[in-house]
Amino acid sequence: MRKRIVIALGGNALGNSLPEQMIAVRETAKAIADLIEQGHEVIIAHGNGPQVGMIQKAMTELTRANPAKYIPCPLSVCVAMSQGYIGYDLQNGLREELMNRGIRKSVATVLTQVEVDPEDPAFAHPTKPIGSFMTKEEAERMMAERDYQVVEDSGRGYRRVVASPKPKAIVEIESVRDMVAAGLVVVACGGGGIPVFHTEGHHFKGAAAVIDKDFAASLMARELDADWLVILTAVEKVAVNFGKPDQRWLDHMTPEEALAYAAEGQFAPGSMLPKVQAGVEFATSKPGRQALITLLEKARDGIEGRTGTVISR
């Protein structure tokens, strides 16, 4: 049956550099094209953790090298830059894959702003990892030299963390809705969206933050009345007691079970926790909605019930 599916694609799945991203997008396009080939409507959100960190680092170094010529680049502008170049690669890679399969379907990227609350407590408690992984020594140096806030990220190394406020509204949602209705494959809410908040009148001002793409994708899926929210990550299924001798992979969770596991501290903040929370938000928003967490290459199998962790009633 034809389904409307919002995919949340992890930024780490897109590589840490431009050459890596161009290679990664080819595999990403195949997995997404599998769903489109089955007749599903697909809308794509994506993360930008490595990419936005790379952009801000480059802009900071440029400013320091020539402060008379360049000014510091706000984090919201770095998010906008990441939306542009990631969307560029995604839409071209997906268009090529679809045409290779004889599917003539337009793909477009929407530069997307997402409204946040300037009083969100997240601004006082940064949790969102961005940039590349660092050793402990590199992290300590960045903390001393640049006043970064740094955390250990799921046993993979150290990363800088920034504020990650919850999304309130998607500014360009009507444009996205119209494009989906016209039959386009849409890339939107890239990097969780450009974080903005209202100031005076109708003006939006950029916020120094990165919105978690899973929460932004969940909001977009609800606004578009999607059937599925598919969160693609580095593991095939969600686990409890992860990394321990009694580790257990989960095929299904009710929202209540998922929240109970989260309360036990089963899911790492900034990693699996927001994925589970976003899945619960979507699954509880309307009867029949389902969230799936799985590997990129397993997206089609997960929709067909063969793998992954499903959150549903």
**Which position among 166, 213, 237, 298 bears the catalytic label?**
213
**Which position among 10, 47, 93, 128 bears the catalytic label?**
128
11 annotated active-site: yes
69 annotated active-site: no
**Which position among 11, 49, 87, 190 bears the catalytic label?**
11
**Which position among 12, 48, 87, 192 bears the catalytic label?**
12
275 annotated active-site: yes
Query: Do 298 and 230 form a contact (C-beta atoms < 8 A)?
Result: no
The CA–CA distances, whole Å, from 301 to 31, 168, 296 equal 10, 32, 10
12 annotated active-site: yes
168 annotated active-site: no
**Which position among 275, 298, 302, 308 bears the catalytic label?**
275
Cα–Cα dist 294/308, whole Å: 5
Active site residues: 11-12, 128, 213, 275
